[in-house]
Amino acid sequence: MRFIVRLFALIGLFGVLLTAGLVLLAIKAKDKQPTLPQAVVLEFNFERPLAEAPGEDGWTSLIGNRRGSVREVVDALEQASRDPRVKGLVAKVGNASQGIGTTQELRDAITRFRATGRFAYVHAESFGDAGSGMSPYYLASAFDQVWLQPVGTVGITGIAVTQTFFRGALDSIGVQPQISKRADYKTAAETFAEKQATPANREMTESLAGDLYDQMVLGIAEGRHLGPDAVKAAIDRAPLLDSEALADKLVDKLGYLDEVETAAKERAGGKAAGADTVDLLSYGKIAGSAFGQGPTIALIVGEGEIVRGGKDKSAFSDEASFAANRIADAFDTATAQPGVKAILFRVNSPGGSPVGSEVVRHAVDRARAAGKPVVISMGDVAGSGGYWVAMDADRIVALPGTLTGSIGVLGGKFVAKGLADKLGVGVDQVTRGANATIWSPASPYTDSEAARQDAMLDAIYTQFTDGVAKGRKLDIDKVRQLAKGRVYTGRQAKDLGLVDALGGYDIALQQVRQVAGIPSTANLHIIQFPKPKSGYEMVLDLLNGNAAAQMASAAEARGAEKVLADYGPLLDMIQPVVRAAKRQEQVLMMPDLGVNGAGR
């Protein structure tokens, strides 16, 4: 009997291994790409949101729901501009999915692509529709032909910054915000601490909105070969009907997406000549990176809120990850590689934990001390902690529209004693230590606790301003004057000395060449740290049980329903393998169970 059980166990084991092997082969086959035709028109939907770094989609990459990244789009366009098979680009846009900084990065890449003699057509069903179409049209203006679907509108209505203040609502329910800031322009907490914008808030917001508006007007004017006054006049009359946009030379043709694609193929040589459309990201995988052999540059990406700790990014999370220890480990790993000549650190973060930010800043210092220059490339935002991690780098590069700075700090708590009283909830505390209730929402700060809170904020603010003065080689009095928690555009920050150059990845790589002593004409070999897991590796994680723990963590962070909705198809595919593996484990335990009488 045991022989038969073991025989079936062996057969079952081979079955599980065969099934797992087929899954792995399917994943590897999925990565194989077809060859390219001799005449290619690239296509891409810019309404799709983009991550900052390749490989940040986890399991979504295995079920056809991959986002793609800014880096991949820019790299693919760079490679395509050198490929004689690529004749042009046809894209779709219409609704905003990128920030202004990212939009500028994409505009620059499209402009460089066109500068090689290739064409770029863009189509929109409507720019903005019921919302603002300013940002998507700003992107579209970098193309040499803009098509609009009939009945669509061009909603370039300008820039509106709406702030909501909840202090009155909190007062009405008995919740008291006790928040301190360093200094006047550190306005993030005003949402809860004020009933309307403070004068400093209003001043800063006016400055940001004004500069971003000017940048977009000038970009549209240059792209459409119009005067800035003509663009401003069109904005003041928007939303524009399709016929009005055509008359104002904001669009070139009215038509449908299939008509744009046909026109693009005809310009590329027609179907008879073998012209065909290929997705931009698929092309990038087929053609390979534009950056091949040459000095090795490490690319590290920090995106999202900066948090303490964290080693590995969950494969079941498509959220941005800026875990301090994960980024610091990436720096240490890259620094230990003898072939790495420099580190390019892409930062897109509104800030977060001061402690986590300091962990990353120190990792930057360690890399530089080991002889690895560090260049920062800023995305949509590098505020507060996002600037803290950058201030010691050899060079800082921001896009003109990057929200930069906010050199400041805030902290505090919400006291809910009044709310508890209104609800009839009694609260009693027993304490030992003068400042035991400093974090408690049940009571306001005592004088001693308020003093300690101020001391912590003062210390962090002093360390921040001193660090900026040292890292940026600026006079400390100047730093104190321009700090105060104020946010600047990248263009303003450049004038103030907070950044060294304006641009995206291409300008940042120029800076890398300069600080690393690499000739400007030399090719670069760019390697991402930490290396994204391949589909093959993720399946291995699944089979050894790591994926289950990652999914549980993701479900806790994002909600089980959303995780199951995102990954249900994948789970359906692999569940038979998992169930078989579990059955196999139980079968192999049969001899031990037999000792207790089971299976005899």
Catalytically active residues are 186, 384
Question: In Å, what is the CA distance from 61 to each residue of 96, 549, 563, 565?
Answer: 23, 19, 14, 15
CB neighbour list of residue 273: distance below 8 Å, 6 or more residues apart: 38, 39
The neighbouring-strand residues paired with 256 are none
Q: How far apart are CA 423 and CA 440, in angstroms?
A: 18
Measured between alpha carbons, how far is 471 from 392 in angstroms, rounded to an integer? Answer: 4
CA-based nearest residue to 30, from 544, 537, 536, 572: 536
What is the distance between the alpha carbons of residues 554 and 562, in angstroms, rounded to a whole number?
9
d(CA 385, CA 397): 16
DSSP 283: H
What SS3 class is residue 529? Answer: coil
The alpha helices in 64-186, defined as continuous H runs, are 70-80, 100-114, 134-140, 167-173
Q: Give SS3 for 87.
A: strand
The whole-angstrom distance between residue 116's C-alpha and the CA centroid of its chain comes to: 29
- Residues pairing with 90 in the sheet: 43, 121
Which residues neighbour 119 within 8 Å (Cβ) at sequence distance 6 or greater? 87, 88, 89, 144, 145, 264, 267
Quick one: how far is CA 245 from the chain centroid?
33
Radius of gyration for the chain, computed over Cα atoms and rounded to the nearest angstrom: 28
With 0-12 / 13-18 / 19 or more C-beta atoms within 10 angstroms meaning exposed / middle / buried, residue 338 is exposed
Residue pair 27/570 in contact (Cβ under 8 Å)? The answer is no
Q: Torsion-angle region of residue 154: left (phi > 0), alpha (psi -120 to 50) or beta?
A: beta
How far, in Å, CA of 178 to CA of 414, rounded?
Answer: 6
Bridge partners (DSSP) of residue 42 are 89, 278
Q: What sign for the dihedral angle of Cα 210, 216, 217, 219?
A: positive
Q: Which two tokens stand for residue 256?
A: 């449908």
- The answer to whether residues 530 and 330 touch, using CB atoms and an 8 Å cutoff, is yes
DSSP H helices, 149-227, are 167-173, 190-193, 199-224
Q: For residues 155 and 128, is the Cβ–Cβ distance under 8 A?
A: yes
| 305 Ramachandran zone, left/alpha/beta (phi>0; psi -120 to 50) | beta
Rounded Cα distance between 109 and 76, Å, is 10
Cα separation of 65 and 383, whole Å?
A: 30
Q: Compute the distance between CA of residue 364 and CA of residue 386 in angstroms, rounded to an integer.
A: 13
